[in-house]
Amino acid sequence: MRNITHFKFTLLVIALATSSVSPQVFALDNLNDANQNAYTTSFKALDTDSSNSLTPSEVKNEKLFSGHFSAADKNKDGSLDQEEYKNYKSQAEQKNVKRVAKDSVITSRVKGNLLKDEGLKSLKVSVKTHQGVVLLSGFVETESQIQQAEKIATETEGVKSVKNSLLLKKD
């Protein structure tokens, strides 16, 4: 009897797991399809001569390809087909998403470390990060708090450099 109950429970868990994963997989497929359609639409809009390929002059106003056309042109034929365009644009977008995620982690770490410090935790210090460079801004009570905040940010994992724009409050 115990084996039958265990078997039924296992089947129930498998059924629930399968049903909860299916919508997620379906959503990912839909997101991928949406990206493919967006790339196709964007490609066609740039393809002004309807040649099914993009020349450097057709993508000159697209910032992503400025100075990077040859890197996107994998077959080195002087034009981008839809696949080359899609692959390069997709890789660039993924790289940007990773950078933003890393910057968010760094910002969170710096804020957490500032909150741990007894002399700074009650202060409102703004922390922003771009490509590992941390910008501190806001108002503090003392010069030593400015220096301490910069020291904490500099010592935080992932920080490449710190721009300290903290200012002393005027009485």
161 and 128 in one domain? yes
Name residue, tokens 């099914």.
52
pTM for this one? 0.65
| Domains: count for the chain | 2
β-pairing verdict for 133-140 and 125-130: antiparallel
Name the residue range of residue 128's domain. 101-168
* pLDDT > 70 in the chain, percent: 78
66 and 10 in one domain? yes
110 and 143 in one domain? yes
- Say what the pLDDT of residue 108 is: 95
6 and 67 in one domain? yes
Question: Per DSSP, what are the bridge partners of residue 165?
Answer: 137
- Say what the pLDDT of residue 21 is: 44
Residue that is last in its domain, among 96, 122, 154: 96
Q: How far is CA 78 from the centre of its chain?
A: 31
- Say what the pLDDT of residue 35 is: 60
123 and 52 in one domain? no
Is the per-residue pLDDT at 23 higher than 70? no
